[in-house]
Copies of this chain bind each other. A is one copy, B any other.
Amino acid sequence: MAERIADHLRKALEDEIVTGRLAPGTRLDEVSLATRFDVSRTPIREALHQLSTSGLIELRPRRGAIVTPVTTEDLVEMFETMAEMEAVCGRLAARRMTDDERRGLLDAHEACRLAAETEDIELYYERNVDFHRVIYTGSQNGFLANEVRQLRRRLQAYRRLQLRVRGRMSSSFAEHEAIVEAIMAGEEVRAEEALRAHIMIQGERFNDLLMSVNSLKKSGE
Which residue of B has the minimal Cβ distance to A81?
B144
The A contact surface, by secondary structure, is helix
Task: Sort chain A's interface into a size bin.
Answer: 20 to 34
- Check: A183 CB closer than 8 A to any chain B CB: no
Binds B, one of A23-31, A42-50, A127-135, A158-166: A42-50
Query: Known contacts A49-B50, A53-B53; can you find 7 more A-B pairs with CB under 8 A?
Result: A6-B49, A50-B50, A77-B143, A78-B143, A80-B143, A81-B144, A88-B88
Q: Mark A1-40, 1 if CB is under 8 A from B, else 0.
A: 0111011000000000000000000000000000000000
Q: In the complex, what distance in Å separates the CA atom of A85 from the CA atom of B83?
A: 12
A8 to chain B, nearest CB (A): 11
User: Is A74's beta carbon under 8 Å from chain B?
Assistant: yes
Closest to A196 in B: B88
**In the bound complex, CA of A81 to CA of B139 (Å):** 11
B4 and A77 contacting across the interface, CB-CB below 8 Å = no
Interface-centre pick from A49, A61, A144, A147 (highest chain B CB count, 10 A): A49
Tell me, rounded to whole Å, the shortest Cβ–Cβ distance linking A95 to chain B: 12
Nearest opposing residue in chain B for A142, CB measure: B77
A141 sits at the interface (CB 8 A): yes
| Cα-based distance from A144 to B74 in the complex (angstroms) | 10
A156 proximal to B (CB < 8 A):
no
Q: Is the CB of B143 within 8 A of A81?
A: yes
* Cβ-based interface call for A202 (8 A): no
A47 to chain B, nearest CB (A): 9
A2-B62, A61-B2, A62-B2 as given contacts; A77 in contact with B144, CB under 8 Å = yes
A54 within 8 A of B: yes
A49: which of B46, B61, B88, B142 is its contact (CB, 8 Å)? B46
- Quick one: which of A49-103 are within 8 Å of B by CB? 49-50, 52-54, 61-62, 74, 77-78, 80-81, 84-85, 88
A197 → B minimal CB distance (Å): 15
Identify 15 residue pairs between A and B in the complex whose beta-carbon atoms are under 8 Å apart, listed by A's number: A2-B62, A4-B61, A6-B49, A7-B61, A46-B46, A46-B49, A49-B50, A50-B50, A77-B143, A80-B141, A80-B144, A81-B147, A84-B88, A84-B144, A85-B85
